Amino acid sequence: MPQIKSQKKRVLTNNKRSEAVKANKSALKTAIKDVRKAIAANDKDAAVKAFDTATSKLDKAVSDGIKHKNYSSRQKSRLATQINKIA
């Protein structure tokens, strides 16, 4: 444990930020899983609705610096392709 006051503060803020990033990553993974579940069930309406949510979360993750923009683009492309195959 650090002895310097500013370093103690950094430990607290780093822990808080780490928890926020973990929560965002978890929510993102859940959103992607929801889309995949809807695709597996051949429910296009639910898949499109879940895809909109997942797309929003992917874009937010990129803007927050949690995920790389290529990761986001790849995920959106793959999910959209799978949704379009349901038709």
pLDDT of residue 7: 96
pLDDT of residue 40: 96
Question: What does DSSP assign to residue 1?
Answer: -
CA gap 44, 27 in Å, rounded: 22
The two tokens of residue 86 are 């349901």
pLDDT of residue 87 exceeding 80, the answer is: no
pTM: 0.86
Segments making up each domain of the chain, as ranges: 14-86
pLDDT of residue 82: 96
pLDDT per residue over 27-83, tens digit each? 999 999 999 999 999 999 999 999 999 999 999 999 999 999 999 999 999 999 999
1 — pLDDT class (breaks 50, 70, 90): confident
Task: Name which of 75, 31, 37 is nearest 53 in CA terms.
Answer: 31
- What's the CATH fold of domain 14-86? Methane Monooxygenase Hydroxylase; Chain G, domain 1 (1.20.58)
